[in-house]
């Protein structure tokens, strides 16, 4: 009986050892798609002009989206000041002043991210042109 139990445990352990690598396959596949598992392939792909053009266009879209968000927040900031029932309080009311600081800080950061996205776009567009031989 004891011998049978030991044999059963050994069989289960062996099966688990065989199955363990199979559970990692999805993780390896995800890393491979991201270029993380095989960086030499990522370098080869980065040399393709189409990759840089696609990234440039993606960053252009992101920059436009960030600029749109900044404009929306700027409008909300203006509305919160001019739309106040008591405009003279706009420069003295602590709540309005705090809200204004938050809007201005948010707008500044969103515009900074938009600028970086534009710089990324410019970089990738230059890489695209270089790889195409322009």
- Based on the fold, state whether residues 41 and 107 are members of the same structural domain: no
Tokens of 101: 């600081």
Task: Confirm if 66 and 120 have CB atoms less than 8 A apart.
Answer: no
- Based on the fold, state whether residues 105 and 60 are members of the same structural domain: yes
- Based on the fold, state whether residues 118 and 69 are members of the same structural domain: yes
Token look-up 């927040």 returns 73
Q: What is the pTM for the complete model shown?
A: 0.61
Question: How deeply is 52 buried, as exposed, middle or buried, from its count of CB atoms within 10 A (0-12, 13-18, 19+)?
Answer: buried
- Based on the fold, state whether residues 79 and 42 are members of the same structural domain: no
- Based on the fold, state whether residues 64 and 96 are members of the same structural domain: yes
- Based on the fold, state whether residues 121 and 83 are members of the same structural domain: yes
- Based on the fold, state whether residues 57 and 68 are members of the same structural domain: yes
The answer for residues whose C-beta is within 8 angstroms of residue 70's C-beta and 6 or more apart is 107, 110, 111, 114
Domain carrying residue 121: 48-134
Which of 30, 46, 62 corresponds to the end of one domain?
46
- Based on the fold, state whether residues 64 and 28 are members of the same structural domain: no
Task: Confirm if 82 and 76 have CB atoms less than 8 A apart.
Answer: no
Number of domains in the chain: 2
- Based on the fold, state whether residues 28 and 59 are members of the same structural domain: no
- Based on the fold, state whether residues 91 and 75 are members of the same structural domain: yes
- Based on the fold, state whether residues 95 and 39 are members of the same structural domain: no
Backbone angles phi, psi at 84, to 5 degrees: -65, 140
**Tens-digit pLDDT string for the chain (134 aa):** 566 665 666 666 655 555 555 555 554 455 445 545 545 556 666 678 889 999 999 999 999 999 999 999 999 988 877 766 676 777 788 888 888 899 999 999 999 999 999 999 999 999 999 988 86
């Amino acid at each position: 009986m004891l011998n049978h139990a030991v044999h059963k445990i050994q069989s289960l352990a062996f099966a688990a050892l065989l199955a363990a690598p199979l559970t990692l396959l999805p993780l390896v596949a995800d890393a491979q798609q991201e270029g993380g598992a095989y960086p030499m392939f990522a370098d080869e792909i980065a040399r393709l002009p189409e990759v840089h053009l696609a990234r440039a266009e993606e960053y252009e879209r992101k920059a436009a989206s960030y600029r749109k968000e900044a404009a929306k927040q700027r409008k909300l900031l203006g509305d919160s000041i001019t739309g106040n029932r008591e405009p003279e309080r706009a420069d003295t009311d602590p709540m309005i002043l705090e809200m204004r600081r938050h809007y201005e800080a948010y707008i500044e950061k969103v515009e900074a991210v938009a600028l970086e996205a534009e710089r990324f776009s410019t970089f990738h567009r230059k890489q695209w042109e270089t790889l195409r031989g322009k």
